[in-house]
Structure 1
Amino acid sequence: MSGPNLTQPISGEIDNDGKLLRADEAFLRLNQRAGGVEGGAIAVPAIAKLAKLSLNLQMKLSRAVRVADNEDHLELWIEVHPTLQFAKVSILSWRALPVLNKRNLILTSMPDSIENQMVFDRHGRLISAKGIAAHGLVPSDFGKNGVEVLTNIFENGVPLANLISALSTGVSIKTMQIKRQSDGRAFDVSGDIIDDERQAVFGFRLRFDPLYEKPLSIVEANYGDVAGNLFGKNLAPVLRQPLGRIIANAETIGGELQGPIRENYALYARDIANAARHLSALVDDLGDLEAVERIDFQTARDTIELGDVARRVAGLLALKAADHRIKINTPADDTNVVAIAEFRRTLQIMLNLVNNAIRYSSDGTAITIETETADKYAIVTVSDQGKGIFGADREKVFQKFERLGRSGDGGSGLGLYISRRLACAMGGDLFVTDSEGGGAKFVLRLPNS
């Protein structure tokens, strides 16, 4: 199929069900050769897949795709702009490649034999990632300049910039060592060029080989396989139902709602209810963990007032704080610190921070929630008067399953890890410093525009 003279893009519109709503003539001919019919489903798998991904993520995507049939092998540069009703697909470039074999119209996949890798197009833009190399990425990173993405995630920004520049000019990189900012994990990184059939540079790939300071725990080593099968949509709802019944029945017995019982039996029932609540919270944490570690995880962009969120959190935890004679100080009602972040996820982070502050503070102390605006960020801080966190442990507390040696307090060691992942997914960050009055001060930073 001879390529059209692209003085302007070739466009089409694909709805949420994959139906081709409208298309320019060249687009229609391409679809017909793939077996599609006018008004039917888009029949070019490469375009259908990209349109579906763009609609699911509700973000603009652009990348090169390759399609072939019995006569031609084409490389197309596709750009997709999603709306709520349909995806607008534009073909910006159209190039015929040598035919290597005969096959039905398909997407030619990028090399994926390497377990942990990032792939960039010939312009240095991130187009895919897999394995542990994908940790820390958010959907909006795809399509961005590779130097910008990598320097936001890893230390050693200048060497990374040099590495990307070298690869984009066709020079392979043997090995360099970098460290991820979020968890301090170190990697050996090597890079190589991805050529097309005409030996032209199609893009390049970075391979990440982790350097473990200590062996992974069984949970860390196998979590990816276990969580995808056990939690999330399938097992979590099944577990919550019986746990909910255990809690309800145990509270009924412990509260003696059906009549008086021996005191030690009432205490047993309350212990059962507390244990079931702990298990239920663990199920929720594992479900959240599975969600935030998916490469396609995304959050909504709500306009929220952080003082309002803080006061809601204080209300939800008021009884727990009162049990320990802890006072929760919140921002005044007339504060107006606006953030652009998902309300539900921001509430989840702040609930975790204040709940931790109650758990690790002494009875009769105070917890203070403050909000402010700084540059392009809205900031909320949660300060307590507990023992604080030593400087050497301030990054460690954000690691998965990290408890700093504590046990028996009902925690899973996932809350802060999940909270930081959520903050990063919303374009912000979460870190800890010293509180002025002693104790720990957690700082949540979110974009305000």
Structure 2
Amino acid sequence: MSGAILAHARSDQHDRLLDVQEPLAGLHLRCGGELPGTIAVPELLSLTRQVRLTGLPVAGMVGAQDGSDAIAMWVEAEPDGPGCAIRIRSWRATPLIAEEGAIAEQRRAETDRHLAELTAWLDSGQRVMAVTTDVPELAGVAAAMQGGAGRSWTDFLAPENVTHAQPLHWRLLDGAPVTVPGSSRDWRVTLIPQMRPGFEPEGFELLLLSDQAPAVGEPAPLPAPVAARRGLVGRDLAPVLQQPIARIVANAETIRTRLAGPLPDAYADYAGEIASAGKLLLSLLEDMADLEVVEDEGFATTADSIDLAEVARQAVGILGVRAREKDITLDAPPCGPEAPALAEFRRVLQILLNLIGNAIRYSPEKSRISVNVSSEGAHVCAIVSDEGPGLSPEQQARVFEKFERLGRSGDGGSGLGLYISRRLARAMGGDLGVESMPGQGARFILTVPADPEG
């Protein structure tokens, strides 16, 4: 792509921005980054990391969220010593209301990037270019993929229940369950295309994810009753239904926002109802799958070394748009002292997203939600405080029960989120509680073990 260069930047071998010009510098800082500091725009970080690992130049559209605007920029990156030289050639800011479907996809991609246990970069033919992982369980498959650069990724991560010749169109493989040699866990892939408007993808970012915790030490054989109970929803039903429902939601959002062309208001409203119903179905599927996981006799979590304050800031960033839609101020823990903890990153993020999402759902417009972190002896706490209607003592006693919705109807909830969150917190050696008074808001408190070596 030709045209004037709007901004130059340079990153080092640790993907930190060293020299950067406006407008990228301001966007980086507003996304929570520092100068110098690790690239704070997730898609730009992924692109520069790909360049650094493959040694090949890459160009493509990069999306980001900047307050109430969706940013689309054309980025060119090429190797420059141990790091990358970055050029910005176009910059477009669009109000979020016109980009809602794209922003929702971006938020999902950002979440998957946080949770991925292996990342690979593919060319336009879905052939492996570079791979990275820090999970010992995946070291073998990562080495095989790196050694087999130029071959299709499906040669190493075989899609389940697929008999057609590979590779299929990437949209048919996005979200597909795959088999990882040597692992007993269930895995799925996310394919994020590198798009140029009007063209097919120039390449892909492949993320490998599992909803199960890795085994600690040598895996012990499961008792027969547990091994037989694979989970109808989580194992069999959810993967089959999630992809087509997600496509329905995406297409309905495209119609609703009139990105596909003019449409009468009544039909746009119908499309909005279809999208809302699809999102509800996806949420219910996720809750039912999680319920099967946490109630399985063999369920366990992994004690990762995490910074609870950083995880809380990531959760706030993911849900920031939803809060602004209701004119709610959402405060994240300030940057500063870390809160080292021993808990599974993806499960802590899941709990905080549930707590903050509930606070947004039930808080009035123009109110404030605060997320704070503190230390209490051998534990660290994340506290989500809102200015909603509050809970009576009787409601507090019931709010963590399975399928409990406190008499609410029509809010799209399943009554499982808090039940699952408390089960997860306790499985990590912590707990989840609530403090509240009617009319005075609520404080949900997540505690997890502190990291004594942090």
TM-score using structure 1 length: 0.50
Give the equivalent residue in structure 2 for 1:249.
Answer: 251
Write the mapping of 1:348-387 to structure 2, written as runs, cut at 5 A: 348-387=350-389
Give the equivalent residue in structure 1 for 2:334.
Answer: 332
Label 1:241 to 1:398 Cα distance change in 2 as closer, same or farther (>3 A): same
Secondary structure, counterpart of 1:277 in structure 2: helix
Give the equivalent residue in structure 2 for 1:343.
Answer: 345
Label 1:384 to 1:129 Cα distance change in 2 as closer, same or farther (>3 A): farther
Write the mapping of 1:300-311 to structure 2, written as runs, cut at 5 A: 300-311=302-313
Give the equivalent residue in structure 2 for 1:417.
Answer: 419
Correspondent of 2:288 among 280, 286, 289: 286
Which whole-Å deviations, capped at 9, do the CAs of 1:104-135 have from their partners, x for residues lacking one?
A: xxx9xxxxxxxxxxxxxxxxxxxx9999xxxx
In 1, Cα distance between the equivalents of 2:408 and 2:295?
25
Correspondent of 1:428 among 427, 430, 436: 430
Deviation (angstroms), 1:261: 1.0
Instruction: State the one-letter code of the partner of 1:316.
Output: I
In 2, Cα distance between the equivalents of 1:400 and 1:419?
11
Deviation (angstroms), 1:335: 2.7
Is 2:241 aligned against 1:239?
A: yes
- Contact 2:231/2:292 (8 A) holds in 1: no
Deviation (angstroms), 1:395: 2.5
Instruction: State the one-letter code of the partner of 1:326.
Output: I
Work out which of the two has the higher radius of gyration on C-alpha atoms and give 1 or 2: 1
In 1, Cα distance between the equivalents of 2:250 and 2:368?
32
Label 1:437 to 1:410 Cα distance change in 2 as closer, same or farther (>3 A): closer
Correspondent of 2:325 among 323, 326, 343: 323
Instruction: State the one-letter code of the partner of 1:367.
Output: I
In 2, Cα distance between the equivalents of 1:130 and 1:416?
27
Which whole-Å deviations, capped at 9, do the CAs of 1:378-409 have from their partners, x for residues lacking one?
A: 11100000111111111211011100000111
In 1, Cα distance between the equivalents of 2:387 and 2:352?
17
Label 1:255 to 1:306 Cα distance change in 2 as closer, same or farther (>3 A): same
Which whole-Å deviations, capped at 9, do the CAs of 1:208-258 have from their partners, x for residues lacking one?
A: xxxxxxxxxxxxxxxxx9x95531111101110210121011112111122
Write the mapping of 1:127-146 to structure 2, written as runs, cut at 5 A: none
Label 1:345 to 1:435 Cα distance change in 2 as closer, same or farther (>3 A): farther
Following TM superposition, where does structure 1 have runs of at least 4 consecutive aligned residues deviating by more than 4 angstroms? 56-59, 128-131
Label 1:368 to 1:229 Cα distance change in 2 as closer, same or farther (>3 A): closer
- Contact 1:236/1:283 (8 A) holds in 2: yes
Write the mapping of 1:168-179 to structure 2, written as runs, cut at 5 A: none
Deviation (angstroms), 1:313: 1.1
Give the equivalent residue in structure 2 for 1:156.
Answer: none
Instruction: State the one-letter code of the partner of 2:348.
Output: T
- RMSD (Å) for aligned C-alpha atoms: 3.0
Secondary structure, counterpart of 1:364 in structure 2: coil
- Contact 2:388/2:441 (8 A) holds in 1: yes
Deviation (angstroms), 1:333: 0.4
- Contact 2:380/2:447 (8 A) holds in 1: yes
Give the equivalent residue in structure 1 for 2:159.
Answer: none
Deviation (angstroms), 1:418: 0.3
Instruction: State the one-letter code of the partner of 1:284.
Output: E
In 1, Cα distance between the equivalents of 2:269 and 2:295?
39
Give the equivalent residue in structure 2 for 1:391.
Answer: 393
Deviation (angstroms), 1:315: 0.9
Label 1:342 to 1:229 Cα distance change in 2 as closer, same or farther (>3 A): closer
- Contact 1:423/1:444 (8 A) holds in 2: yes
TM-score using structure 2 length: 0.50
Label 1:448 to 1:411 Cα distance change in 2 as closer, same or farther (>3 A): same
- Contact 2:390/2:439 (8 A) holds in 1: no
In 2, Cα distance between the equivalents of 1:433 and 1:229?
34
Label 1:431 to 1:129 Cα distance change in 2 as closer, same or farther (>3 A): farther
Deviation (angstroms), 1:320: 0.7
In 2, Cα distance between the equivalents of 1:370 and 1:440?
13
- Contact 2:374/2:382 (8 A) holds in 1: yes
- Contact 1:380/1:444 (8 A) holds in 2: yes
Give the equivalent residue in structure 1 for 2:298.
Answer: 296
- Contact 1:361/1:387 (8 A) holds in 2: yes
Task: Choose 428-437 or 439-448, whichever is displaced more.
Answer: 428-437
Which whole-Å deviations, capped at 9, do the CAs of 1:168-218 have from their partners, x for residues lacking one?
A: xxxxxxxxxxxxxxxxxxxxxxxxxxxxxxxxxxxxxxxxxxxxxxxxxxx
In 2, Cα distance between the equivalents of 1:436 and 1:405?
15
In 2, Cα distance between the equivalents of 1:229 and 1:444?
28
- Contact 1:385/1:435 (8 A) holds in 2: no
Correspondent of 1:263 among 259, 262, 265: 265
Deviation (angstroms), 1:311: 1.1
Instruction: State the one-letter code of the partner of 1:328.
Output: L
In 1, Cα distance between the equivalents of 2:338 and 2:270?
47
Label 1:351 to 1:57 Cα distance change in 2 as closer, same or farther (>3 A): closer
Unmatched segments (≥5 aa) in structure 1 = 1-15, 17-51, 60-81, 88-106, 108-127, 132-224
- Contact 2:391/2:442 (8 A) holds in 1: yes
In 1, Cα distance between the equivalents of 2:224 and 2:391?
34
In 2, Cα distance between the equivalents of 1:130 and 1:422?
22
